[in-house]
Amino acid sequence: MVRNGGGWTLITSHDSASGYFTTSSGLDGGMLSGGQPTGLYSILGRIDDFKRNGRFELRYNTMKTKDKGDVDTWVISTQTSSPLDASRAGGCASDWSVRDSNYLVGDNAKLFCGYVPGPSGWAIINGYGPNWTHGVGQLKVYADWPMVCTYHTNYFCSKIQYWVR
């Protein structure tokens, strides 16, 4: 992907119209067809291969919402801990920061604190461990929302992509 300085590699693409991941397919599943990902695509299990200079640079995209049609909201963050580090499950990543965003990623509640595993049975990773927002590799629907998305905007999104650089 060439946006935001280019050099991005797609790690996960999830369109809820295609259903939800299993634990194994959320780590490694789906195909690319004509350069485009299938509705459930993930190489999230390989994310540790993308750590550069002691950190991860990650981009989360909301692409389509139930009530607003196509949108393009994103947050770019960095962190030193692996998003798959099980010791961080249910908490926050160590040494995370938001580098850039085109929406408000949190207020006093701080509903973003880097990517960590889980919660178990709900998503492979999420961007706020205590409250499951910014879900990646979702294993089931959250309440009556098709997917969990960005805080303050597009809670009803049905498609997200997750990138690494």
Across residues 29-41, what is the average pLDDT? 88
> What does the chain look like in DSSP terms, one character per residue?
--STTS--EEEEEEEGGG----HHHHHSB--EETTEE-SEEE-GGGGGGG-BTTBEEEEEEEEEETTTEEEEEEEEEEESS-TT-GGGTTS--SS-EEEEESS---STT------EE--TTTEEEESSTTT--S-EEE-S-BTTBSS---TTS-TTEEEEEEEE-
Is 80 among the domain residues? yes
Residue 109's pLDDT band, with cuts at 50, 70 and 90, is low
Is 1 among the domain residues? no
Is 38 among the domain residues? yes
Is 139 among the domain residues? yes
pLDDT for the residue numbered 11: 96
Residue 45's pLDDT band, with cuts at 50, 70 and 90, is very high
Q: Which domain holds residue 88?
A: 9-164
Is 3 among the domain residues? no
* Residue 79 φ then ψ, to 5°: -160, 155
pLDDT for the residue numbered 44: 97
* Residue owning tokens 């990138």: 163
